[in-house]
Structure 1
Amino acid sequence: MTATDLHRMTGAYALHALPDGERDAFERHLAGCEACAQETDELVATAVRLGLAVSVTPPAALRERVLRRITTVRQEQPGGPAESRRGRTGLRARRLSRWTLAACLAAAAALGGTTVWQHERAEDALSRARQAERGTEEIAAILAAPDARTRAAALAGGATGTVVVSRSRDKAVFLVSGMTSPPGGKVYQLWFDDDGAMRSAGLMDPARADQAVLMRGAVDTASGMGITIEPSGGSKRPTSAPVALMDFPS
């Protein structure tokens, strides 16, 4: 693999389309090539914008339709329509034991509780979807801000991190690719670096190697950011040495 080949891999790397061997080689090249780092950073941000641009918000009436159908849709009889027609002859009705009737009555009595449980599950899912949608919209706004500035860096374990800062919105987004999972019971926590004083900026999802995280809180006078490994749920102050430190773009 030549240096020319490596310079041409920025697009495939941004879309996570490189096989393991080529990805490792490109990441080693990326650490020492400022031009490729900048181009990769821009392509990653563009890919995120394109993904957000084609996302679809479900219609508001979908929830009500789903909840209504939960209580009205009946399960198909085993064997399909032909079996159902044979069942209407009366022979099957005579064979229906009192134990089967009791089971049917019990199922009918439980339907009310099941419907409540399904409704609560639907409400929880809807709340999570709305929260995720708000976060996605804010991330998109920061990435698309006219004054958005980016900086990329190679992280430990072969991961690549990019921070996008919009001073007009006073917000920052951290994008990471190839992040290794934290130890069991631990989580990666983001911090704003206020002249050496660390201020919590939220938690990363420990189950995802690639993610875009809206950093919680205002950028304010922060000059950079850090990442530490903390107990699940996070900490008020860092309890471990940073696994990464990045300066914000000027």
Structure 2
Amino acid sequence: MTTVDLHTLTGAYALHALSDEEREAFERHAADCAACAQEAAELSATAARLGLAVHEAPRPALKVEVMNRIGSVRQEAPRTDPATRTPRSGARTRRLSRWALAACLAAAAGLGGTAVWQHDRAQDAQEQARRAEQRTDELASVLAAPDARSRTAKLADGAIGTVVVSESRDEAVFIASGMQRPPGGKVYQLWFDDRGTMRSAGLMDPGRTTEAVLMDGPVDGATGMGVTVEPAGGSAEPTSDPVAVVEFPA
């Protein structure tokens, strides 16, 4: 898949219409393409708003009204040749009419369930977009803080890690470039080094090799940070040797 092809996948990515292989390829591309990343985020937010705009909840009494009328409203009987009509055709028509109405009701209920599902998906997407935007704003605030200080270190396999610390905000950002993906079922976990005691600072995205992460929690006097490989979901304390150790700038 060429770079030109990847540029055209922003809409499909926003609508979750890509295969796993295409999604991973696009996410790798978007990590280095700010234009595609921004366009995909904007399209995702737009899709969420459109999903909310077309949703309309039925009146609570609608189901009761329909159920009450099933037994009293007859559908117009199909036209038949009187010569071929049998004495039982009227009863059979009434049964078929009720079945048809019941089928329509079931279909309407199914569509209602689909609308609720779409509404829930739209709300989830909107909440995820809101959280992502909030986290991005916080990350940018740390990087732009007047007292922000940074330190860069070479990591394993030629990767580079940079930590940025703002004392006034009591927050830190870790920026990794060129890291190898963790083994299957594993994830990179960040840690604050509280003078020898490691405190969890969140997880990195296992599908990205380049990422900027706002570390979870306050710096609170930590002297540095580390990165370890942990089981998916993270660990309460490090279970492996660190793949990266970076001291905080003075």
Fold shared by both chains (TM-score > 0.5): yes
Gap change, CA 1:61 and 1:160, over 3 Å in 2: closer
> Contact 2:48–2:125 (CA<8 Å) still a contact in 1?
no
User: Does residue 149 in structure 1 map to residue 134 in structure 2?
Assistant: no
State the identity %: 61
Give the match for residue 220 of structure 2.
220
The alpha carbon displacement at 1:229 in A equals: 0.6
| 5+ long unaligned stretches in structure 2 | 1-31, 57-78, 80-96
SS of the residue 2:230 aligns to: strand
Please give the alpha-carbon distance, in whole angstroms, between the structure 1 residues aligned to 2:34 and 2:171.
17
Q: Deviations over 1:74-100 (max 9, x none)?
A: xxxxxxxxxxxxxxxxxxxx9xxx9x9
Instruction: Report the CA distance shift for 1:192/1:51 in structure 2 as closer, same or farther (over 3 A).
Output: farther
Q: Residues 54, 247 of structure 1: CA spacing in aligned structure 2 closer, same or farther, 3 A cutoff?
A: farther
Q: What is the Cα deviation at residue 152 of structure 1?
A: 1.0
Cα gap change, 1:184/1:145 in structure 2, threshold over 3 Å: closer, same or farther?
A: same
Output aligned runs, 1:77-226, within 5 Å. 107-226=107-226
Q: CA deviation at 1:214?
A: 0.5
Structure 1 residue 62: Cα displacement: 7.8
Partners of 1:51 and 1:249 in 2: how far apart? 33
Task: Identify which of 51, 70, 75 aligns with 1:66.
Answer: 51
> Residue type matched to 1:232 in 2?
A
Q: Residue 184 of structure 1: CA displacement?
A: 1.1
Q: Deviations over 1:83-138 (max 9, x none)?
A: xxxxxxxxxxx9xxx9x999876543310000010011011111111111110000
8 Å contact from structure 1 (residues 186, 229) kept in 2: yes
Going from structure 1 to structure 2, the CA distance change for 1:229 and 1:117 (only over 3 Å counts) comes to same
Residues 41 and 129 of structure 2 are in contact (CA less than 8 Å); yes or no, is this contact kept in structure 1?
no
Query: Does the CA-based 8 Å contact 2:201-2:215 persist in structure 1?
Result: yes
Query: What is the one-letter code of the residue matched to 2:216?
Result: R
**Residues 52, 136 of structure 1: 8 Å contact kept:** no
CA contact (8 A) 2:51 2:118 kept: no
**C-alpha distance in 2, partners of 1:230/1:65?**
39
| Contact kept in structure 2, 1:52 and 1:140, CA below 8 Å | no
> Which 4+ residue blocks in structure 1 deviate beyond 3 angstroms?
47-58, 60-66, 100-109
Alpha carbons 1:49, 1:140 under 8 Å: kept: no
Kindly tell me: are residues 228 and 62 of structure 1, through their superposed partners in 2, closer, same or farther at Cα, counting changes over 3 Å? Answer: closer
Size of the aligned set, in residue pairs, is 181
TM-score (norm 1): 0.62
Q: 1:143 and 1:53 mapped to 2: Cα distance?
A: 19
Residues 49 and 143, structure 1, Cα contact 8 Å, conserved in 2: no
The structure-2 alpha-carbon separation of the partners of 1:172 and 1:53, relative to structure 1 and needing over 3 Å to count, comes to farther
Q: Is the CA contact 2:47–2:122 (under 8 Å) kept in the aligned structure 1?
A: no
Q: What residue number does 1:229 align with?
A: 229
Larger radius of gyration between Structure 1 and Structure 2: 2
Corresponding residue SS for 1:139: helix
Residues 187/55 of structure 1: CA separation in 2 closer, same or farther (3 Å cut): closer
Question: Following the alignment from structure 1 to structure 2, what is the Cα–Cα distance between the partners of residues 142 and 193?
Answer: 19
